[in-house]
Structure 1
Amino acid sequence: MRLSRLVVLKSGLRAYDEEFHAGVNIIRGVPGRGNSVGKSTIADMIFFALGGDLTRWKPEAASCDQVLAEVVVNGSVVTLRREIAEAPQQPMWIYFGDFDTASGAGTDGWQRYSYRRMSDRESFTQVLFRLMDMPEVPAEAEGNITMHQLLRLMYVDQMTPVDRIFRAERNDSALRRQAVGDLLCGVFDARLYPAQLELREKEKAYEAAAQQYGALSRVLAAAGEAFNLDFVEARRRSLEADIATIQTEIQALKSHRFDERQLAPGQSSIVATIKTDLDRVNGDIAELQVLVGQLTYNIADADMLIDEIQRTLARLREGEVASSALGPLNFLFCPSCFSPLKDTDHEHQCKLCRSDVEPDGDRSRFARMRNELEIQLKESNHLQAKRREDLTAATLRAAKLTGIRDTLATEYLNLTRNYLTETDAQIDRLNSRLGYSERELIELQRERQLAEQLAELSRMKAELNEDITRLKEDIVLWRGQRDRQQENVYRMIQERTAMILAKDVHTEAEFTEESDVYFDFSEDRVTVNGKSGFSASSLTVIRNAFHLALHWVSCTSPILRYPRFLLLDNIEDKGMTEQRSQNFQRMIAAISEKLEAEHQIIYTTSMVDPDLDESDMTVGERYDFSNKALKIGLGPS
């Protein structure tokens, strides 16, 4: 990936417009007067234009509106555009072509992509990754690695602590840093990171299931209840069978209990007649209750329909008034392709579809629709009135039959109260057994739910344990395969970091080509000979040396996926001396000159090496307080 042009706009005017080239690009200030002149602002603009997420803008940058970048990615030229705003995760517009063509294209050809992917559309990261032949790699449960995450390892800014590898940000995670590092070093395993994320979630789920299982087991043990689902299910089936048997026996006894009653002469037939009448009345009441329920529901449903018809009529009247006031709609342009529409052959013809239109067609349609709705409303009101009459009649009849039933029931009880037979005693005993069994069945249902919960938790634990074991075995295998490849790449980066440090103008005698350089993406740190407690300026050199070494290796080894783009904004950070800064600049130029692969290194400095200052490596003017990098309010667009 190579930046070939950067343009910053303010109110339609160009506040910055410079071309960049392959190799080393130096954004410099006038020696002695080159601090706070906008160099870091341009570095931030580059980071943001390429897909970084930036919200804390310097005042001059915040006053601008847009930043555009012409970029060459694997030979393809694209122009990127983003709005400068304080809100995070700004979208990106992409034009497949150079800046000049994009500027003259208006809105044609520009495609808008959001910062994050959505179910129905891609993010700009996905587009840029596809151009770079970069695979999509999950770094966290909520999403994949973004362009912003890659740039955190390609942009060395001034605000990040000097002992860190990645550009600092909130809510960072070791797993994400390791994923980005391994991706750019070409040693990522597409299976490993999803497996690590899945393992973390499975272990959390197993811990939660184990806690619930233990708590439930302790509660049951304290209550003296020890059972399993098989026991509960067997007991339930036994109880249901007992209840069915008892109910059958009770029904059989009730059917012939009057045969055994010791009633006065003639009373037996009277009791039988009353019982028959009582059963019939109860049946009639049940039917009426069903009818009342149906009528109540139908009335409520019809009320909603009548309200809707009335609202539709009101809207229709309003529409008729609006149509009469506005008149016919005349289109000047096709709503599909926006081409101008030709004039009609005559005034009563649709300009869009060329169909003939009746002059009073709208009023006729309004009248027809209103007439149909009025008829429907009238019929609905008529039927609703009939339903209300039927409901009143059914309610009154049900109340009347309820009174008759109460009278019959009282008379039946008076006749049979004092005449209990052996059958009645058996029915009482069976009813007692039935109530006990039904209560036990209810309690058993509670126990069954607890047993099912225990069984489900046990099954879940077993499945999770199997998944965790499998994932751990897979992770060990895949990590071993990755580590073997990673070791070779890391060794090259460590050796070249040591080579760069050995040429530093320093007071640290231990910086040699044999220095033991160690780095860890997940821990976000670099150490030399097991030590990290160097001076601030030496830590700056170590940090820059590591990033330069990573860039160097990416240009010589086909394994790495690092885009061969490096942005340094801290060459003389943290009290760096002029001699030390210029020495490092010469090392950058020397390394770049030896590289055969196309690459780009952009760095800012206010202590530019005199020899490099006169070379074609510089970009733009020498900036100072009277000539800052951002030309606010100057230049045509």
Structure 2
Amino acid sequence: MRNNLFLNRMKIYTRNGKIAYDEKFHRGVNIIRGNNSSGKSTITHFMFYALGGAFNDWVKEAKKCSYVIAEIEINGAILTLKREIKLNNFGKANKTEGMFIYWGELEFAEKESEGWQKFNFNTTDNKKSFSNVLFENLNLPIVKGDNNITFHQILRLLYLDQDSPTNSLFYYEEFDTTLTRETVADLLLGVYRQELYDKKQRKVEADKELEDIKREIKVIKRFIQNPFDLIPSNLTQRISEKEKEISEIENEIIRLKNEENKVRFTKNTKLDFEKLNEETIYQRKKVKNSEQRLKNSYYEIEDTEYFIQALKNKLKALNKSILTRDLLGNFPIQNCPECLSPIEPIESTNVCKLCKTDIDDSFGITQAKKIEQEIDFQIRESINLISIKKRQLLELEAELESDKLKLFHLQQKVNSSINDVKTVRQEKLDQLYVDKGFIEGEIIQLRTLYENAEVYQSLIKLQTELEQEVETLKYSIDKITIEQEKLKIEIKQDIEKEGTYLLNNDLKRQEDFYQAKEFHIDFRNNMAYISDKDAKYSASSSFYLKISARYSIFLASLSIDQMRYPRFIFCDNMEDKGIEKIRAENFQRILVEEAEKFETEKYQMIYTTSFIPDELNIEKYTVGDFYTEQNPSLKNV
């Protein structure tokens, strides 16, 4: 599925509620015309901001506006975006202002107060950012970790502005990194694979888990130096032998008690015994209740896990339904299913081929995407809930162990409370109880050793599994990286071919351009060059080289399906840095000519200019009035 982003309409409101700007945009080429200082750049700044760009360098007219609202279409789903322009006491706006998103058309969004969702600029553990929403709908992998890519970073390769230096391929940022630029390029070129990212993340986690396990094994071996004490079967046998000894002692105690002629208690002793016995009975019930609560907690966690899996299956089914709709929607129907008569073809894609009724493909997709967001929210909430339940489970396990230990001590007190029983065999019974208590203590120690041995053996098994997993991951990462680099080279060759064509068709102003046999784009180092990275050109030629590079990426995306570039570009000023009028007009002609070799319904190109060729100055290409100082782009400010 090819990625597509379209700007359908944009409205800007003043702080007193009046409309400052309201224009609709069409598929294909959109040209915003006007004299210098008429507000063309301000419109592209608002586009950049509305789509999620981090921008706050507003001119005074823009500061009189309160918010911008834009209707966009992403892969068939229609969304309306709204961002406010809030100024602080120093008149400076917040460049990372959040975004309101409405699932539907702008016309309906403005009539509804409900249905809007607020998303912040940055992602948190509990809430998505608006970048997450846009990434998901554009089928862009969400890059997390040390290099968190926002939609602002994506726009840096979709937006051509006047303020960035001509030697900066990307929209300029003061704090920029080679890793960020390279990741954005890999995402948009389609060579970035989520599988590779996941495997790299998993390898980092597996390496850490392996180190932690090795550390735990080392600690256990330090405190349990006898290797036989780390074998569970050996400890089980020893515990069984001790339990057999206790059984023999208990049988002997019963025999001696049965032979006792008379057992007498003092009044105080009997009271102590009864009190301890009641406490023991209560504690035994408490242990039983704790065991039942623990069992219930296990069942609740298992049910929640089943529920999460069901939601994930539902999410997969929803995505498959969208793909099925696209497949069946493009299936040609040539004969009527009732009478088998030939059906006359219809040019319009918005009319049913059978009944001729108007259809709206975007509604179903939009609803599906909205449901997808809701299911994703339920999954996140369920995962948070299961984390809470697991913490509660640990607390219940600790509580149960504590109750069992208390019961054991109480039982010991009950046994020792019969210290005033007066029989001829008392001395032997007392010794038997001492022996029994000693052996019970040994059993407790052996059970502790057994638990540690079980943990130790589990850790040894897990260590082996992790070592195998790390080796497998390393192999897969190397393999995918090689494949990714190969694909990247192939795509870059197509891009550079487009760039060479744009340079070769420049007016004969720069010999290196119209005689160029090669052209290179270095995303990592933020530059484009012909053969010599250090070559210097005039300001106007440097500008021409930069826009050729940026538009070559856009043009290549129209023919390369695997590119994730959304077939959308917007540019501020085609005649920057003193470029001649005739040279700027020539570039526009060859650019439009190249773009129109493809279906206009599948891309959108927006740019501003003061020098528009006569053949392009028609309704098919233009948007809005020709702006002047007397008729600026922003009204009512």
TM-score (ref. length: structure 2): 0.59
- Work out the CA distance in 2 between the residues paired with 1:432 and 1:79: 79
CA distance in 1, matches of 2:237, 2:73: 79
Q: Mark the runs of 5 or more structure 2 residues left unpaired by the alignment.
A: 86-93, 287-412
Separation (CA, whole Å) in 2 of partners of 1:213 and 1:294: 37
Which residue pairs with 1:156 in the alignment? 160
CA distance in 2 between counterparts of 1:593 and 1:83 reads 35
For each residue in 1:50-99, what CA deviation from the matched residue of structure 2 results, as whole angstroms up to 9, or x when unmatched?
x324452515334323434466778x896835242446330233544xx7
1:438–1:540 Cα change, 3 Å:
farther
Give yes or no for contact 2:147–2:179 (8 Å, CA) kept in 1.
Answer: no
Question: Following superposition of structure 1 onto structure 2, how do residues 412-491 of structure 1 map, counting pairs within 5 Å?
Answer: 412=422, 423=428, 428=431, 431=434, 435=438, 437-478=439-480, 485-491=487-493
Q: How does 1:103-122 map to 2 (within 5 A)?
A: 107=111, 112=116, 115=119
Distance 1:506 1:83 in 2: 45
* Number of equivalent positions: 485
Give me the whole-angstrom Cα distance separating, in 2, the residues matched to 1:590 and 1:545.
11
| Aligned-partner residue type, residue 247 of structure 1 | I
Q: CA distance change for structure 1 residues 444 and 38 in 2, over 3 Å: closer, same or farther?
A: farther
Tell me, yes or no, if the aligned pair for 2:236 and 2:450 is still in contact at 8 Å.
no
Note if contact 2:98-2:130 (Cα within 8 Å) is conserved in structure 1.
no
The match for 1:615 among 617, 625, 628 is 617
Cα deviations by residue, 1:408-430 (Å, 9 ceiling, x for unpaired) = 95584xx87xx997x57xx7499
Cα deviation code 1:206-256 (max 9, x no counterpart): 32233324434544565572537752x234324423432332343344456
Percent identity over paired residues? 22
Encode CA deviations 1:98-151: one digit per residue, 9 max, x unaligned: x7xx28x962699635558999999988998899xx545443379998865653
C-alpha distance in structure 2 between counterparts of 1:291 and 1:459, whole Å: 41
Aligned counterpart, 1:549: 552
Are the aligned partners of 1:495 and 1:513 in contact in 2 as well (CA < 8 Å)? Answer: no
Shift of 1:44: 1.9
Q: How far apart in 1 are the matches of 2:139 and 2:285?
A: 65
The residue correspondences of 1:326-475 to structure 2 (distance < 5 A) are 409=419, 412=422, 423=428, 428=431, 431=434, 435=438, 437-475=439-477
Distance 2:263 2:78 in 1: 98
Note the alpha carbon deviations across 1:410-460, whole angstroms, 9 max, x for none. 584xx87xx997x57xx749946962x555544545544544444444333
Aligned to 1:60: 61
- Residue 91 (structure 1) aligns with: 100
Change (3 A) 1:458 1:487: same
Question: What TM-score comes out, normalization by structure 1 length?
Answer: 0.59
Q: Which residue of 1 aligns with 2:583?
A: 583
Whether contact under 8 Å (1:499, 1:513) holds in the other structure is no
Q: 1:15 aligns with which of 14, 20, 36?
A: 20
Give the C-alpha shift of residue 629 in structure 1.
3.0
Counterpart position of 1:241: 240
Q: Distance in 2 between matches of 1:259 and 1:184?
A: 88
Shift in alpha-carbon separation, 1:545–1:601, aligned structure 2, 3 A: same
Tell me, in whole angstroms, the C-alpha distance in 1 between the residues paired with 2:586 and 2:233: 86
* 2:212 paired residue number: 212
How far 1:587 sits from its partner (Å)?
Answer: 1.2
Structure-2 separation of matches of 1:459 and 1:600: 56
**Alpha carbons of 1:159 and 1:210: their partners in 2 closer, same or farther (altered >3 Å)?**
farther
Deviation at 1:43, TM superposition (A): 0.4
Q: Show CA shifts across 1:258-313 (max 9, x none).
A: 999xxxxxxx96xx3326999976664356557999999xxxxxxxxxxxxxxxxx
2-structure distance, mates of 1:600, 1:193 = 26
Say whether 1:285 aligns with 2:275: yes
Q: 1:567 aligns with which of 570, 574, 590?
A: 570
Question: Is the CA contact (8 Å cut-off) linking 1:5 and 1:19 kept in structure 2?
Answer: yes
Q: 1:508 to 1:125 in 2, by over 3 A?
A: same
Q: Read off the aligned partner of 2:61 and give its amino acid letter.
A: E
The verdict on how the C-alpha distance between 1:94 and 1:469 changes in structure 2, with shifts beyond 3 A counting, is: same
RMSD: 5.3
Counterpart of 1:399 in structure 2 is none
Question: Contact conserved, 1:26 with 1:619, CA < 8 A, in 2?
Answer: yes
Residues 547/78 of structure 1: CA separation in 2 closer, same or farther (3 Å cut): same
1:248 is paired with a residue whose SS is helix
Question: How far apart, in 1, do the equivalents of 2:254 and 2:73 lie?
Answer: 96
2:34–2:627 CA contact under 8 A, matched in 1: yes
1:156 deviates by 1.9
- Pairing of 1:22-171 with structure 2 (within 5 A): 24-27=29-32, 30=35, 34-35=36-37, 38-49=39-50, 51-54=51-54, 56=56, 58=58, 59-69=60-70, 80-85=80-85, 86=94, 88-96=97-105, 102=107, 107=111, 112=116, 115=119, 135=139, 137-140=141-144, 150-158=154-162, 160=164, 162-167=166-171
Q: Write the mapping of 1:513-524 to structure 2, written as runs, cut at 5 A.
A: 514-521=516-523
SS in 2 for 1:603: strand
Using a 3 Å threshold, how does the CA distance of structure 1 residues 527 and 222 change in structure 2: closer, same or farther?
Answer: farther
Amino acid at match of 2:589: A
User: How many Å separate the matches in 1 of 2:77 and 2:433?
Assistant: 91
Counterparts in 2 of 1:306-345, with a 5 A limit?
A: none
Which residue pairs with 1:273 in the alignment? Answer: 263
* Cα 1:505–1:205 shift into 2, 3 Å: same
Task: Tell me, yes or no, if the aligned pair for 1:516 and 1:530 is still in contact at 8 Å.
Answer: no
Cα 1:577–1:457 change in 2 (3 A) is farther
Letter matched to residue 215 of structure 2: A
Is 1:529 matched up with 2:531?
yes
Preserved contact between residue 209 and residue 460 of structure 1 (Cα < 8 Å): no
CA apart distance, 1:480: 5.2
Aligned in 2, Cα 1:126/1:207: closer, same or farther, shift over 3 Å?
Answer: closer
Task: For 1:161 and 1:444, locate their aligned partners in 2 and report how far apart those are by CA, in whole Å.
Answer: 74
The aligned amino acid for 1:14 is I
What letter matches 1:552 in structure 2? L
The answer (yes or no) to whether the contact 1:53–1:89 under 8 Å persists in 2 is: no
Letter aligned with residue 22 of structure 2: D
Cα 1:93–1:461 shift into 2, 3 Å: same
In 2, Cα distance between equivalents of 1:630 and 1:13: 11
